[in-house]
Structure 1
């Protein structure tokens, strides 16, 4: 098959090449370094302006000659490329996600409406088509819609907590919306939700013939919105044989959430809130989870979700290795805003339990403020340990080491 892949994810490219497929890779310019090692094995490769722009993707296929060969499938492993890939596949008559499914798994208002219609528990919400154009304050509109404070405000189809904020009450909500529009006038369409208290979890896995066939449940150490206060993203995977009742409950809710959206074959990343007996659906994406979630599923379930994303869209079997027995988790390595990074790779690798490490901000480079979005970090460290307690202790040591090394005045 000739497959157009949107997003330069090495595991997905390798899975296609191993299957004997011809691959045309479309990627945003910032990913060009990752493409360099793959380029000589690709049928075509082209940088695009944005994954969000169907015109850019389509014109790139014209420009590199990919359309002259015919395209059999279009698949995206990038969040922003999910709906454009589906639309492009429909235009080319190629195998791809159904565009309506892609939208339900991308747009939060459309998604919540589908869940509410199917009786899947989710937060109350109100869509503001133009948050600055109403005849009354936003706080009055949300109160009339039955929402209760605190409120979470977010774009309808964002990523990495960009543009997401929490307002404790109505006056704060009005001030927040005014500030958001001033900072980004192009994002006037906003979603307001009632905040759901409790821990945040994520379920990652595969769905086939409408049923979850593999699922890994993990619990964030803090809800992702707390990255807005500088808390690093961190999560620990729960071993299925140690939490059987919890897995049964979450699998049942995931089954209902997938069915309501019509996602029958592919991978998923499902975020939910609360706890046993009171889980609430947050968001569900028809693509692999980011950060080191792929490493979690590989180490615990023996499944590479990035490869699975392309295998399942093409109707191919998904290879699986042996299940793991260690508890694994990862943490982002926090920045100290305005300071030069002094943390080295070697300092993190010396911490017992660290088995994978990505460094994004090199020693000597300035560190931005983590409160801007959940993607800002020195890097990410994945740890493996015999127990959950040992895993949590190792994650704490990574964070504590980074903060100590980078404290102003420390050398």
Structure 2
């Protein structure tokens, strides 16, 4: 199997090489500068290309042409990160590889096209409207008639909560949109305005093979994501024994979304709502793994490394490999602790000994250290356990109060 892999991800790359895949890797400038790339591992690949970023049509086209001239016989194009999806789709188109095409990348990255396909397939989703220029805010009366307030305003190709805001009143729309700050990763400043859907916010995470899930789980965000400060990421995985019917309904909805978008294989992270009327409403789907502590949560609870599972899917294996569990039990959550003072030098943070002594902490991973400079958002990830879902919610809130990363001058 000859595979073209986009972005640096050592676990998947090593697994593919160990499985005998003929691997070609495309790295971007971020990978090279900050990714701690293992050149010895990459030396085992058949080819390594470096591009400025995955939005450079010229550089990616040059990669595709070189692979054709080398007769590399690429059969799969795999993209690990959100911001390499467009580039991977372009490479698949140029190399004639079926599956994750550019059209599919547009449908998973541009939220307007995603919602258009949902509606065409009869999938319940938020009402929305397109804003092709963030500098030209539509008339609030038109927004009220088309979408209805409150609304959510977000970049069409962002991720997470980047430049995403809730607007409750028509008179605030223009001021809020004018104040949006787009991170450098978000190139297009076109916007989508969506209906604000109330209810439980949930996510489903899976690895698919020929339309069937090799693994599927559902998690719940403890609080509405737009109501928490930046960096306070976290969710609770739902126990199948307690929530089997909801998980089955989520799987059915996810299959419908996959059919609408054209997804049949690889990882997905799908967000959806459950309203007070017990209706499931599709939100956004991404052809990548969930971010933050999600991979660690699944590994600790179920003994499954989703990256290894994806590698198996890419080379045609269908058996779920198990890895070491950490005794988390069925009730597991993952949270990130951001710096309380924002970016700056880390003055203090919980010690490994302190975290190891907490019976509710299954695993911890510090992303900064005392004395280092930090941007303030991703500082300390914790995997937490409890004996029940109710207790787990209390454990999450207690951990946020107890464990603090302090920054300052």
The normalised TM-score by structure 2 is 0.86
Q: May I ask how many residue pairs the two structures share in their alignment?
A: 397
Aligned 8 A contact 1:352 1:394 in 2: no
The farther-off stretch of 287-296 and 26-35 is: 26-35
Give the equivalent residue in structure 1 for 2:158. Answer: 158
User: Aligned to 1:35, what secondary structure does the other structure show?
Assistant: coil
Q: Are 1:99 and 2:102 matched, yes or no?
A: yes
The alpha-carbon deviation at position 338 of structure 1 amounts to: 5.1
Partner of 1:326: 330
Given that 1:344 and 1:362 are in contact with CA atoms closer than 8 Å, whether structure 2 keeps it comes out as no
Which residues in structure 2 correspond to 1:275-290 (within 5 Å)?
275=275, 277-290=278-291
2:355 to 334, 337, 348: 348
CA distance in 2, matches of 1:183, 1:102: 21
Alignment partner of 1:361 is 2:368: yes
SS of equivalent residue, structure 1 residue 105? helix
Runs of at least 5 residues in structure 2 that lack an aligned partner in the other structure: none
Alignment of 1:55-74 (within 5 A): 55-59=58-62, 68=70, 70-72=72-74, 73-74=76-77
TM-fit CA distance, 1:151 = 1.2
8 Å CA contact retained: 1:208, 1:266: yes
Q: CA RMSD in A?
A: 3.0
Alignment of 1:12-411 (within 5 A): 12-32=12-32, 33-36=35-38, 38-59=41-62, 68=70, 70-72=72-74, 73-94=76-97, 96-133=99-136, 137-144=138-145, 146-180=146-180, 187-227=188-228, 229-230=229-230, 232-275=232-275, 277-321=278-322, 325-336=329-340, 337=342, 340-341=345-346, 342-346=348-352, 347-368=354-375, 376-403=377-404, 406=406
Q: What is the alpha-carbon distance in structure 1 between the residues aligned to residue 296 and residue 183 of structure 2?
A: 35
1:224–1:182 distance in 2 versus 1, CA, 3 Å: closer
Over 3 Å counting, the alpha-carbon distance change for 1:79 and 1:339 in structure 2 is closer
**CA deviation digits over 1:143-188, x for unaligned, max 9?**
34x2111111111111232111111111211112222279989643
SS in 1 for 2:106: helix
Q: What are the superposed Cα offsets for residues 69-111 of structure 1, whole Å, 9 maximum, x if unpaired?
A: 5141321011111232122022123455133223222221111
Q: CA, structure 1 residues 344+62, in 2 after alignment: closer, same or farther (shift >3 Å)?
A: farther
Matched position secondary structure for 1:243: helix
Per-residue CA shift, 1:232-283, capped at 9, x if unaligned?
Answer: 1111101212222222222222222222222223321110123472221110
1:392 to 1:112, Cα distance in 2 relative to 1, 3 A:
same
CA distance in 2, matches of 1:183, 1:407: 22
TM-score, length of structure 1 as denominator length: 0.85
Retained in 2: the 8 A contact 1:109–1:127? yes
Partner SS state of residue 36, structure 2: helix
Look up the SS of the partner of 2:180 in the other structure. helix
Rounded to whole Å, the distance in 1 between the matches of 2:6 and 2:402 is 37
Cα offset, 1:217, TM superposition: 0.7
Paired residues of 1:200 and 1:219 also in contact (CA < 8 A)? yes
Distance 1:69 1:182, change over 3 A: closer
In structure 2, the partner of 1:3 is 3
Partner residue, 1:373: none
Rate the CA distance shift 1:264–1:40 in 2: closer, same or farther, 3 A: closer
- Please say if residues 214 and 320 of structure 2, whose CA atoms lie closer than 8 Å, have aligned partners that are also in contact: no
Determine the C-alpha separation between the residues in 2 that align with 1:168 and 1:367: 33
Using a 3 Å threshold, how does the CA distance of structure 1 residues 302 and 182 change in structure 2: closer, same or farther?
closer
Superposition deviation, residue 57 in structure 1: 3.4
CA offset digits 1:28-74 (Å, max 9, x no partner): 333344322633433333443112334333445778x8962514132
Preserved CA contact (<8 Å) 2:293 2:334: yes
Q: Do the aligned partners of residues 209 and 94 (structure 1) sit closer, same or farther apart at CA in structure 2, a change above 3 Å counting?
A: closer
Distance in 2 between the 1:326 and 1:382 partners?
13
Are the equivalent residues in 2 in contact too, given 1:54–1:88 (CA < 8 A)? no
Q: Which moved more, 1:16-25 or 1:203-212?
A: 203-212
